Amino acid sequence: MLDKFHDECGVFGIYGHSEAANLAYLGIYAMQHRGQESAGIAASDGHQVRVAKAMGHVADVFNQSVLSKVPGALAALEARVGASAGPITRTPKEILDQKKSEILN
């Protein structure tokens, strides 16, 4: 049984703030380092989960236009590094759903 993430990545989440996606972006941007190859974000307004992901560095993947399309008070952002198993294979929504399930159970 897996008790933790086994990916080479950075994960940052925010809960309970109206600008969760923007704050998660700043958090993961501060954690990124050379070798990062892809990034994704999932954010929820309590009714819908919206996802954005792409290959590239956090600053290249997410701009204000992209972040404005993922509103909500809950956001999780992941950045994968080149030493990992490859680009993002699980979406940030899947990670968010898994973590939400773990917290609620």
Q: Give pTM, 2 decimals.
A: 0.66
Spatial strand order in the sheet of 74-81 = 9-15, 74-81, 36-44, 49-55
Give the pLDDT of residue 10: 77
Render pLDDT for 19-60 as a digit per residue (tens, 0 to 9).
999 998 888 888 776 556 788 888 998 888 898 888 888 888
Angstrom distance (rounded) from CA 88 to CA 54: 9
- Catalytic (active site) residue 9: yes
- Asked, for residue 68, whether it belongs to a domain, the answer is yes
- The domain spanning residue 98 has which CATH number? 3.60.20.10
- CA 34 to the chain's CA centroid: 18
Number of domains the chain contains: 1
- Asked, for residue 20, whether it belongs to a domain, the answer is yes
Render pLDDT for 60-85 as a digit per residue (tens, 0 to 9).
888 899 999 999 998 888 777 655 44
- Asked, for residue 7, whether it belongs to a domain, the answer is no
User: Phi and psi of 79, rounded to 5°?
Assistant: -125, 125
Closest CA to 43 of 65, 64, 63, 14: 14
User: In which domain, by residue range, is 74 found?
Assistant: 13-104
- Asked, for residue 49, whether it belongs to a domain, the answer is yes
Indicate which residue of 3, 7, 9, 92 is catalytic: 9
- Asked, for residue 8, whether it belongs to a domain, the answer is no
Beta pairing class for 36-44 and 49-55: antiparallel
